[in-house]
């Protein structure tokens, strides 16, 4: 089954709460209270997203996390997934040298063919923005963006 991790799912929920709160910032405790997500998991997620440059934080009494300004409108589902899980690769031969990782590389009839499928998936995920996920019908948006390139 192709499935995102629970932490990636939580990251989207946390980012949507930060997107709605912008330009205000939120602490991990505030986000946990608003979203129902476990605070320890949120703290870990927010640190990962900060390392990826998606969120930033301020320390102190008035501190908290906030979306980095440039990512507010241009943060794609692909960027979030890659920040949380690493590069998107449907099969091992997409991300690693086939000869070292795949026992059937010498006789595989689909060797190298998964790359096109992986690229198509990445293209769709790159067209879905966090702002879209928070405000609109995703199907309509992805179809419109696909039609207009």
Domain harbouring 123, CATH code: 1.10.10.10
Domain that includes residue 112, residue range: 6-147
Cα distance between the two ends of the chain: 29
On whether residue 129 sits in a domain, the answer given is yes
On whether residue 41 sits in a domain, the answer given is yes
Print pLDDT tens along the chain (149 aa).
789 999 999 999 999 999 999 889 999 999 999 999 999 999 999 999 999 999 999 998 888 999 996 666 789 999 999 999 999 988 877 766 555 567 777 788 887 788 899 999 999 999 999 988 888 666 665 566 666 66
On whether residue 1 sits in a domain, the answer given is no
Burial of 43 (0-12, 13-18, 19+ CB in 10 A): middle
User: What secondary structure letter does DSSP report for 138?
Assistant: H
On whether residue 91 sits in a domain, the answer given is yes
Domain count, the chain: 1
Amino acid 46: pLDDT: 97
Cβ(50)–Cβ(57) under 8 Å?
A: yes
Tokens found for residue 100? 């070292």
Amino acid 26: pLDDT: 95
């Amino acid at each position: 089954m192709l499935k995102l991790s629970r932490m990636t799912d939580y990251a989207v929920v946390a980012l949507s709460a930060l997107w709605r709160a912008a330009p205000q910032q939120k602490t991990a405790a505030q986000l946990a209270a608003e979203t129902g997500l476990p605070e320890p998991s949120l703290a870990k997620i927010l640190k990962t997203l900060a390392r990826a440059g998606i969120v930033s934080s301020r320390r102190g009494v008035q501190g908290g996390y906030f979306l980095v300004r440039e990512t507010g409108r241009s943060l794609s589902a692909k960027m979030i997934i890659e920040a949380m899980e690493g590069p998107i690769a449907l099969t091992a031969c997409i991300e690693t040298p086939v000869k070292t990782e795949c026992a059937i590389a010498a006789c595989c009839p689909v060797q190298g063919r998964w790359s096109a499928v992986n690229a198509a998936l990445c293209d769709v995920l790159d067209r879905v923005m966090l702002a879209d996920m928070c405000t609109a019908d995703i199907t309509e948006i992805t179809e419109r963006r696909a039609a207009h390139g």
